[in-house]
Amino acid sequence: MIAGLLPAGVCAAEAFGDDGPAGRAILFPAERAAVAGVSPERLREFTTVRGCARAALAGLGAAPAPLVPGPLGAPGWPAGVVGSMTHCAGYRAAAVARVSAYASLGIDAEPLEPLPAVVAARVVGPVERAWLREDFPPGGLPCDRLVFSAKEAAYKAFSPWLGGRFGFQDFTVRPYPDGTFLAIPPESETPLPVLPEEGLLGRWSARSGILLTSLLVQQSEI
């Protein structure tokens, strides 16, 4: 499913649960150390999503390497590669690309259901709520979840330049019914790449109970 949101030159792999080949991936020692003492469920999803990443890297012609979370949670990738991983209940995925074509990328997967009200209030700002009322009929797609997922993908795509953690209200996204969304990064003390003033366009889809989003920063855009 995730491949449908990604352009040529980006390799992706996905798994529906932890019982397939990806779930039997062998972790590097550094990866095992990163999840020492976690719950069995967390270990399974950590392993499976890295199995997906190994498959995506193989599709790119890159050798497997330890993918250890850094200080901000994003995994390190082999030299010359950018990538992103995501997981939610029943779904894991990874996508990778060469840095010669893409400066960064972010993907996210979420269950296709509304956010809890208290979470939605923290995620969706007043301007975004107005846009959603304008563009989406009520009673259909869980738009608060779509905004959440788009901000997750945007955070991952912009994280190489942010230099710190940011909250959901720091990002602005505008989803469109055509399966795209506009993402505007937060202000940061770390210089951001020279991006279009209106932001970057990402993509989203909803199928089989899963909401997927992706955002890529091409080298030609910075």
For the chain, which domains are there? 2-100 (3.90.470.20), 108-221 (3.90.470)
Res 167: pLDDT: 80
Angle of helix 126-135 relative to helix 143-162, nearest 10 degrees, comes to 130
Res 197: pLDDT: 56
Question: Is the separation of the CB atoms in 1 and 211 below 8 Å?
Answer: no
Res 166: pLDDT: 75
Record the pTM. Answer: 0.93
- Write the pLDDT tens digit of every residue in 13-70: 999 999 999 999 999 999 999 999 999 999 999 999 999 999 999 999 999 999 999 8
Res 148: pLDDT: 96
Question: Is the separation of the CB atoms in 109 and 211 below 8 Å?
Answer: yes
More confident residue, 199 or 152: 152
